[in-house]
Structure 1
Amino acid sequence: MRIAIVSLAAAAAAVLATPALANETRVETRGGVIWNNGDTEAIAGIAAGYDYDLGDKFFAGVQGSADKVLTSNTRVTWGVGGRVGAKVLPTTKAYALASWQSKSCRYCNSAVGVGGGLQQDLGSRYFVKAEYQHLLVGDNTPDADLGLVGLGVKF
């Protein structure tokens, strides 16, 4: 049930992102760690998204991603989601996010991620970001947590 509620929240965030006030396209490479029940593994991936201005202070965006837990017997996890947030400084964005992610292994379950992050511009085209997600797995599988840092470019 909680996965359905979070999925609806992600869909609502994507619907709010209307193209009338387009802001920027972004592409990033990212890495970090994923952990649950005392087990920690490295993860690496890429993401691309589009943010829409919602006035001077707020924004909403959509994003797609491909991430891989850096161990054997895992698959690339494909993700789609959205984020909403505020421009807390002219070069800093704080946001909440929700996403759906495909299975990371043959017998694993897909997951819904909820979390937040900070994105800091480095000049007019580049940015760095730090992000946390709690992955709601379901089907009596333990939830997981994900910490990511990214480096990207805006268009």
Structure 2
Amino acid sequence: MQKRAVFSALLVALPAAPALAGEATGGPRAELRGGVAWTEDHTDPVLGIAAGYDFDLGDHTFLGGEVSGEKILADDTYVELALTGRLGTAVTEKGSVFVNGGYTFTHHGDGPHVGLGYEHHLGHGGTYLSAEYRHVFVDHHQSNAVTIGIGTFF
């Protein structure tokens, strides 16, 4: 219940951010990410990739989708695949925040996920750094992950 309240508050606050904004970036993108995933039982490193497309909606906002694959670096795990939609807005000239949600296919079962992230664009090219939190809701196996990444828009 508390997680829903936090996510709802973020969705309500997101439209206020354009007052601080620069330009949103759109187009195809690819990203390499790594971090840590945890459950109630244990914590493991994670490594993954993502590819997606963001549509520039104007007013410094974007809407996009991505497909990703992540491997929890433990012996008894497989690559987890996810389909994710994201909605974001620029909060500085080079930084954007976004909320995301989608569906994750895991070796423990399949389920929805929600998350929150930040991208910081480097220089004038398409390269960016990212940080993201994601929570996966699988019936008997909920998990969390925090990742950092480096990516590029094409």
Mapping 1:87-126, distance limit 5 Å: 87-103=90-106, 105=107, 108-123=108-123, 124-126=125-127
State which of 27, 32, 43 in structure 2 corresponds to 1:29.
Answer: 32
Query: Partner of 1:102: helix, strand, or coil?
Result: strand
Q: TM-score, normalised by structure 2?
A: 0.79
Query: Partner of 2:88: helix, strand, or coil?
Result: strand
Structure 2: how far apart are the matches of 1:50 and 1:89?
21
Q: Which sections of structure 2, spanning at least 5 residues, go unmatched?
A: 1-24
Structure 2: how far apart are the matches of 1:71 and 1:142?
16
Q: Which sections of structure 1, spanning at least 5 residues, go unmatched?
A: 1-21
Name the residue aligned to 1:145.
144
Aligned CA RMSD, in angstroms, stands at: 1.3
Name the residue aligned to 1:76.
79
Cα drift, residue 91 of structure 1? 1.2
Name the residue aligned to 1:15.
none
Alignment length, in residue pairs?
129
Query: Partner of 1:101: helix, strand, or coil?
Result: strand
Q: List per-residue Cα deviations over 1:43-84 (Å, max 9, x = no partner).
A: 101001110011132110000001101011211111111100
Q: Which portions of structure 1, spanning 4 or more consecutive aligned residues, are displaced by more than 2 angstroms?
A: none
Q: TM-score, normalised by structure 1?
A: 0.79
Mapping 1:33-72, distance limit 5 Å: 33-72=36-75
Structure 2: how far apart are the matches of 1:59 and 1:113?
20
